[in-house]
Amino acid sequence: MKHIEANESNNDIRDESSYSRREILKMAALAGTGIVVGMSGMASLLAINNGQKVNPDPKESQSEIGNKDVIPFYGVRQAGIGTPQQMYMCFAAFDIISDNVEELKQLLKIWTYISADMTAGRALRETNGQQQVNSTPEKSTDSPAKLTITFGFGSTLFTKNGIDRFGLGTQCPDELRNIPSIPGETINSQISGGDVCIQACSSDPTVAFHVIRNLAAASIEMAVIRWIQTGFIDASDGQTPRNLFGFKDGTANIELTSEQAKENHVWVDSSNGPAWMINGTYLVARKIRMDIEKWEQTFFRKQETIFGRSKSSGASLGKNDEFDAVSMREIPSDSHVWLARSTGTKILRRSYSYFEGIDPVTGNLNAGLFFISFQQSVRKQLVPMLSLLAKHDALNPFISTISSSVFACPPGSSEGGFIGEQLFEVK
Amino acid sequence: MKHIEANESNNDIRDESSYSRREILKMAALAGTGIVVGMSGMASLLAINNGQKVNPDPKESQSEIGNKDVIPFYGVRQAGIGTPQQMYMCFAAFDIISDNVEELKQLLKIWTYISADMTAGRALRETNGQQQVNSTPEKSTDSPAKLTITFGFGSTLFTKNGIDRFGLGTQCPDELRNIPSIPGETINSQISGGDVCIQACSSDPTVAFHVIRNLAAASIEMAVIRWIQTGFIDASDGQTPRNLFGFKDGTANIELTSEQAKENHVWVDSSNGPAWMINGTYLVARKIRMDIEKWEQTFFRKQETIFGRSKSSGASLGKNDEFDAVSMREIPSDSHVWLARSTGTKILRRSYSYFEGIDPVTGNLNAGLFFISFQQSVRKQLVPMLSLLAKHDALNPFISTISSSVFACPPGSSEGGFIGEQLFEVK
């Protein structure tokens, strides 16, 4: 086993940055018997390529971490979609700068192994900084704080500027195209799209930060961050979270709680997707700026007719309980709920609020909703809803959509495999 | 009692925005028998001016809210200073645009009453939006999620551009002046200073957002937000939180846990402040950008010698436990801990991490520490520490200070009084 070592003396510290990530990746690919490098999280993940997982600190087995805070990373389907929504999100879109399909696969493997480590509570919070192999410090066993990490592929991973960059072009799902332009929206392309998206959710904002930081650090010379969005929901303890207009957002999700409902509306199966996407789903993310000041100038009762729901209980107007069946006749036909339901399609909402200080131009609060939905088909389920809302929604004067992205979330992976591997098997 | 009413019919909603806040404030000042206006949170708080608190919904008494989630707003000293640090912070600096001292007092009263309401769990989360008096909706009893709201006054509240704007100039504490320029720092004045600061801390980020939103809404035509900073700490459950370099930050606070230590180092008394500041303290806030990428290129052991502490345990080098007494001989004399301790002064740290996506210019993570400290004397306790650190701190190549503000936090208030009232009594 080859070690890249360094002198531990405080007076003579060799800077390991002279070994680039690319070199290490090359070494990992070339090494016959495994390689351990002195880099946070890399030791075990590269060793696993040779069929043997090296855990640098056996004390950190997952069993020592409270199971209630662990959501398994490996599985038939990715976590962070059908699993309960955590309080804090960090969502990053990366552009792949490599043009080599083997390097892309290697990056996905690295990201997979790091993600599995982090969701199990390893390589979190305090472990940034390079580590000498012979001085692996004792790490505290961190709670992963219900961390989930969810990956998705954008259309530009398949074809960019007309070029089939990785030879994957024919595998691009029909669904994976941008949502048609919706009237009234102004999309900023700098905060939209991207080759790969990673959604990190946790009950601890520091964990979500470190996840994106660790994944970005591991991708140096392979990928660059295109945009990042952080978000939060209220500490609702299982209740439907409220958006920044004060209304419960995601009540209809109750209709998608059963596994059967998710089979029908969320997960791709052989009837509606390419083979590599079976047990995957499509993610749509839209940043919706909300005019908080204008909303505050609006009567409470008018707000309720705009949404079509009671602000306090979340019940649709004319009903008492949030989860009572909606009576379409009792709510205004330009209300948000009426329009969202009138298409008859269902989507799984998993949105987060954002708050980014004040707008330097207007002085108003720069806040809103980072809308995230998962569905079997963007075009059949979400687009009809968005088109109808764009035309008639009484909420439109108070909101503006400033980003829009679609990603194909592949199925989950199992230990030893990697996220998206089915895409390459097909090929 | 005069009511400003509105038709409740959905088809005939009168827009109340024709009543400006200024008019309402005037009406409140003029009304002899009390006034109830249909505005979020205003009904009770203006009625209180006439010696009688009108609670629009008696069901919402504080006793119904779990006491563990309530930190009392009223008290001899303000909360959010010596009270345990919550996970999430929203910090706003306001500039007062009024030039009338009575209006300033009125604004402070409004802010006080709203703050007391919110910390007790009222007017939180779902209650934004104007309310008709006769249709006050049933509000759910919200947990305030350990909310604290802390006020401070900047030097510009006393004298701005050489003008004693409110006749308070002679009351300005000597301490309330900017920290002398520290070598190497680049201060952005647009995110520094301000006439009044409000620090809202909570275990729920949505609560912290709504607090600032509600306070901003209540100040329309009286004050404008100058800057806002949000921040978070890890879910450390009573342990010292880690900063984004992965190190525990605030270990020395243990030395300030006793009430006597706070008397000695945090709270102003008659020997060291103007009379109106007794039981108050001085707040320094400095936004410190951290070069995460450069830090990651640095060896783990070198990081530890830079801080002078074990990364895992937080113990000073040569010791085993985070709270073992620091042995100055065992840690490098250019380490952060050595320098911070060598002045012999103590400050109460209550900092928050921030993460604001990627820097559009460099593509690096835009992240760091929003350093907050409280102390009896900025010049005697903090400035010597900062000056020494600026000269020798091994951490300097990894950080840059981009904002700096000093505020005088007055003592707490009691029900019926208001934050800062002692300042006006002196006059």
Contact A90 B355 (CB under 8 A): yes
Same domain for A282 and A366, yes or no, is: yes
User: What local confidence, expressed as pLDDT, does residue A1 receive?
Assistant: 33
Both A347 and A392 in one domain: the answer is yes
B359 interfaces chain A, CB cutoff of 8 Å: no
Establish if B102 touches chain A: CB-CB under 8 angstroms: no
Q: Are residues A264 and A380 in the same domain?
A: yes
Decide if B358 and A227 are in contact by the 8 Å CB cutoff. Answer: yes
Q: According to the model, what pLDDT value does residue B127 have?
A: 52
User: Which residue in A13, A212, A299 is closest to B299 by CB distance?
Assistant: A13
Q: What is the pLDDT, as a whole number, of residue A394? A: 93
The proportion of chain A whose per-residue pLDDT surpasses 70, expressed as a percent, equals 79
Q: Is the pLDDT of residue A181 over 90?
A: no
Considering the domain architecture, whether residues A363 and A265 belong to the same structural domain is answered as: yes
- Structure confidence at residue A141 (pLDDT): 53
Both A284 and A359 in one domain: the answer is: yes
* B296 contacts A228? CB cut-off 8 A: no
Contacting residues of B for A246, CB less than 8 Å apart: 125-129
Cβ-Cβ contacts under 8 Å, A367 against chain B: 209, 213
Task: Tell me whether residues B204 and A312 touch, CB distance under 8 A.
Answer: no
| B141 shares contact with chain A (CB less than 8 Å) | no
Inter-chain contact A143–B235, Cβ cutoff 8 Å? yes
A79 falls within a domain: no
Confirm whether A150 is domain-assigned: no
Pick among B7, B42, B133, B206 to test the A interface (most A CBs inside 10 A): B206
Tell me what pLDDT residue B234 has. 86
Nearest CA in chain B to A365: B213
Out of A204-213, A279-288, B84-93, least confident range: A204-213
Q: Please tell me which residue of chain A has the smallest CA distance to B203.
A: A235
Is the pLDDT assigned to residue B19 strictly greater than 50? no
A138 lies in a domain? yes
Least confident window among A28-37, A246-255, A308-317, B370-379: A28-37
In a domain, A89, yes or no: yes
* Cβ-defined contact of A130 to B300 (cutoff 8 Å): yes
Asked if residue A387 and residue A289 are part of one domain, the reply reads yes
pLDDT for the residue numbered A58: 33
What residues of B are in contact with residue A300 (Cβ under 8 Å)?
Answer: 129-132, 135, 137
**Cβ separation of A365 and B216 shorter than 8 Å?**
yes
Q: Is residue A43 one of the residues assigned to a domain?
A: yes
Q: Do A246 and B129 touch (CB under 8 A)?
A: yes
CA dihedral A213, A218, A220, A221 (to 10 degrees): -150
- The residue segments making up the domain with residue A314 are 155-192+233-415
How many angstroms away from the CA of A138 is the closest CA of chain B?
7
User: In this complex, do B130 and A299 lie within 8 Å of one another by their Cβ atoms?
Assistant: yes
Residue A49 has pLDDT above 50, yes or no: no
Interface test with chain B among A232, A299, A356, by most B beta carbons within 10 Å: A299
Please tell me which residue of chain A has the smallest CA distance to B312.
Answer: A139
Name the least confident of A19-28, B28-37, B374-383. B28-37
Query: Any chain A CB within 8 A of the CB of B166?
Result: no
Identity of the amino acid at B288:
I
Identify whether residues A240 and A120 lie together within a single domain: no
Residue predicted with more confidence, A427 or A101: A101
- Between A253 and A135, the more confident residue is A253
Please, which pLDDT band fits residue B236 given cuts at 50, 70 and 90? low
Co-location of A208 and A352 in the same domain: no
CB contact under 8 A, B234 and A205: yes
pLDDT of residue B235: 72
Residue A78 has pLDDT above 90, yes or no: yes
Q: Confirm whether A78 is domain-assigned.
A: no
Same-domain check for residues A210 and A240: no
Asked whether residue A249 falls in the same domain as residue A390, the answer is: yes
Is the pLDDT at B29 greater than 90? The verdict is: no
Whether B295 and A247 lie within 8 Å, measured CB to CB: no
Residue B4 has pLDDT above 50, yes or no: no
> Same domain for A137 and A240?
no
Who has greater pLDDT, B162 or B122? B162
On whether any CB of chain B is under 8 Å from the CB of A244, the answer is: yes
pLDDT digits (tens, 9 = 90+) for A94-146: 999 999 999 999 999 999 999 999 998 876 655 555 544 333 444 445 788 99
Please write the tens of the pLDDT for every residue from B341-368. 888 899 999 999 999 998 888 888 999 9
Asked if the structure places residue A75 within a domain, the reply is no
Is residue A44, in this structure, part of any structural domain at all? Answer: yes
Provide the mean pLDDT of chain A. Answer: 81
Q: Which of A368-382, B96-110, B313-327 has the lowest mean pLDDT?
A: B313-327
Most confident of A293-297, A326-330, B146-150, B202-206: B146-150
**Cβ-based contacts of A232 with chain B (< 8 Å):** 88, 205-206
Digit-coded pLDDT (tens) for B95-145: 999 999 999 999 999 999 999 999 998 766 555 555 443 334 444 457 889
CB neighbour list of residue A201: distance below 8 Å, 6 or more residues apart: A80, A85, A86, A88, A89, A146, A147, A148, A150, A208
Q: Are residues A394 and A350 both part of a single domain?
A: yes
Question: Which residues numbered 55-94 in B keep a CB inside 8 Å of some CB on A?
Answer: 87-88, 90
CA closest to B248 among chain A residues: A126
- The ipTM value here is 0.82
In this prediction the pTM is 0.84
Judge whether A325 and A251 are in contact, CB under 8 Å.
Answer: no
Q: What's the confidence (pLDDT) of residue B179?
A: 76
Residue pairs spanning A and B at CB distance below 8 A: 216
Mutate to test the interface with A, among B4, B16, B191, B209 (most CBs of A within 10 A): B209
CA distance B341 to chain A (A): 21
Structural domain count of chain A: 2
